[in-house]
Amino acid sequence: MDDLGPLLISITERMSREKKRGQVADYIPELAKIDPNQFGISVALADGQTLSAGDADTSFSIQSVSKVFALSLALTRRGADVWKRVGREPSGDPFNSIVQLEADHGTPRNPLINSGAIVISDIILAARDHVEAVDEVLNFMRNAADDDNIFVGPAVAKSEQQTGFRNAALANFIKASYNIDHAPEKTLALYFHQCAIAMSCRQLAQAGRIFAFGGRKGVDGHALISSGRARRVNSLMLTCGHYDGSGDFAFHVGLPGKSVVDGGILAIAPGIASIAVWSPGLNKVGNSHLGTIAMEDLAVQTGWSIFGEH
Q: Which is nearer to ligand DON, 197 or 273 (CB)?
A: 197
- Among residues 64, 91, 115, 259, the one annotated as catalytic is 64
Q: How far is the CB of 62 from ligand DON (least distance, A)?
A: 8
Q: How far is the CB of 167 from ligand DON (least distance, A)?
A: 5
Task: Reply yes or no on whether 64 is catalytic.
Answer: yes
Interacting residue ranges for ligand DON, rule: CB under 6 A:
63-64, 95, 113-114, 160, 167, 195, 260-261
- Among residues 42, 66, 67, 279, the one annotated as catalytic is 67
Q: Which residue's beta carbon is nearest to the bound ligand DON? A: 64
If you write DSSP's letter for every residue of 190-236 in order, what string do you get? HHHHHHTEEE-HHHHHHHTHHHHBTTBSSSSS-BSS-HHHHHHHHHH
Q: How far is the CB of 45 from ligand DON (least distance, A)?
A: 26
Q: Which is nearer to ligand DON, 113 or 275 (CB)?
A: 113
Task: Reply yes or no on whether 261 is catalytic.
Answer: yes
CA angle 58, 59, 61 (to 5 degrees): 150
Burial 231-261 (b: 16+ CB within 10 A, else e): ebbbebbbbbbbbbbbeebbebbbbbbbbbb
Q: Which is nearer to ligand DON, 50 or 110 (CB)?
A: 110
- Among residues 42, 261, 277, 279, the one annotated as catalytic is 261
Q: How far is CA 303 from the centre of its chain?
A: 23
Task: Report phi then psi at 299, rounded to 5.
Answer: -65, -40
Task: Reply yes or no on whether 243 is catalytic.
Answer: yes
Q: Which is nearer to ligand DON, 12 or 115 (CB)?
A: 115
Q: How far is the CB of 275 from ligand DON (least distance, A)?
A: 18
Other beta carbons within 10 angstroms of residue 270's beta carbon come to 17
CA distance 275 to 207: 10
Task: Reply yes or no on whether 260 is catalytic.
Answer: no
3-class state of residue 174 by DSSP:
helix
Residues 6+ positions from 98 with CB-CB distance below 8 Å = 166, 169, 170, 173
- Among residues 59, 156, 191, 258, the one annotated as catalytic is 191
Q: How far is the CB of 20 from ligand DON (least distance, A)?
A: 22
> What is the H or E stretch that residue 99 is in?
helix 99-103
Q: Which is nearer to ligand DON, 85 or 217 (CB)?
A: 85
Task: Reply yes or no on whether 27 is catalytic.
Answer: no
- Among residues 61, 243, 258, 279, the one annotated as catalytic is 243
**Residues paired with residue 278 on neighbouring β-strands, in sequence order:** 40, 264
Which residues are known to be catalytic?
Answer: 64, 67, 191, 243, 261
